[in-house]
Amino acid sequence: MEILSKITPAETLLLIRGNSVKLKDLMKYTFTDLLSKKVISIRKTSTKASVKDKELSTYTYVEEGENFSRYKPKTHEIAFLQMFIVSPSISLNIKDFVQLALKAARSNWNYKKQIRNSKDISFYFRESFWSNLFGQIKLTEKGKMIKQRLLAYLDGIDERLKHLNESDKQSLIETLLPLGGNVFLLNNFDVKILKDIDRDVFKNSTFNTTRQDTSGLFYDFLFLDLFLDFDDFEDTFKSFGDNFDAFDSSFDSGDSSSDSGCSGCGGCGGCS
């Protein structure tokens, strides 16, 4: 299904779930998609959080990926990339990265509008004064048709994944790879499936040719390194969700930072 190789998982989600899709999911899958395209990358390092610590702590950083400079982001992806555009080669702690992306998204409705206005899908949506006023996503007739087609197609792949056997793997990979980051939307997709497959199988795949997606990015192969580093990927994906929950809830409650240290010197912890 050609459209899936052109649209991001956030765009797919908005088409198939419309109003019910959560900001967290839209952002989480956008993050994953950018990672898989190597527009951003993850670096982990172990260091002492403070001089006095005896144990090392693991810090996870988000940085520019190898395809960052040639990637043309869609509007809803800029929330994740803004800092790297303004300050090239900066490293962001994943906690800060999520918080900044969430602030840049501004609101659930604003982020959905950014996705809806993408030139690859905007013609599937009906926009009116009232839908904008009440923050409603409305599909055109053409939009409703593509939604049904997308659902049927993804369900079909999900069904194949459910009853996957060894001989199916090669052909399945050729089905999965053009989906790009949309593979993460499949209920039965498990990155272990690809991890178990010999790297040579990927090399022999007919999709192992340089191709261009709608963003103008050239890349040799989706996901390969990401999947081979499966454990790290799972951790990162979880970490993004956890951080998102932390900031999203503090946004809702209007909680602001406050320091519980002493007032004398702006919160010193004493000397030793």
Partner 1 sequence: MTDQQAELWNSIKEFELDDIHASFSFSDRLVRENAWSLAYAIRAIFEYKKFMFLICISKTPLTPSDQVDQVWHLHLIYTESYWIDFCQNTLQQPIHHGPTKGVEQRGNFREYYQNTLSLYQNIFQTIPPKDIWNDIETRFKDVNFTRVNRHKYWLVPKKLF
Residues that bind partner 1 (CB under 8 A): 45, 47-52, 57, 59, 82-83, 86-93, 95-96, 99-100, 103, 257-261, 265-268, 271
Q: How far is the CB of 215 from partner 1 (least distance, A)?
A: 24
- Give dist(CA 131, CA 152) in Å, integer: 27
Give the nearer residue to partner 1 in terms of CB position, either 100 or 186: 100
Q: How far is the CB of 269 from partner 1 (least distance, A)?
A: 9
Q: How far is the CB of 148 from partner 1 (least distance, A)?
A: 41
Give, to the nearest 10 degrees, the angle between helix 108-116 and helix 9-17: 100
Q: How far is the CB of 54 from partner 1 (least distance, A)?
A: 13
Give the nearer residue to partner 1 in terms of CB position, either 82 or 136: 82
- Give dist(CA 48, CA 246) in Å, integer: 23
Q: How far is the CB of 23 from partner 1 (least distance, A)?
A: 19
- Give dist(CA 248, CA 128) in Å, integer: 29
Q: How many CB atoms lie within 10 A of CB 86?
A: 8
Give the nearer residue to partner 1 in terms of CB position, either 133 or 265: 265
- The Cα-based distances of 52 to 47, 137, 262, 267, 270 in angstroms read 12, 53, 20, 18, 13
- Which residues lie across from 42 on neighbouring strands? 62
Give the nearer residue to partner 1 in terms of CB position, either 87 or 128: 87
Give the nearer residue to partner 1 in terms of CB position, either 43 or 72: 43
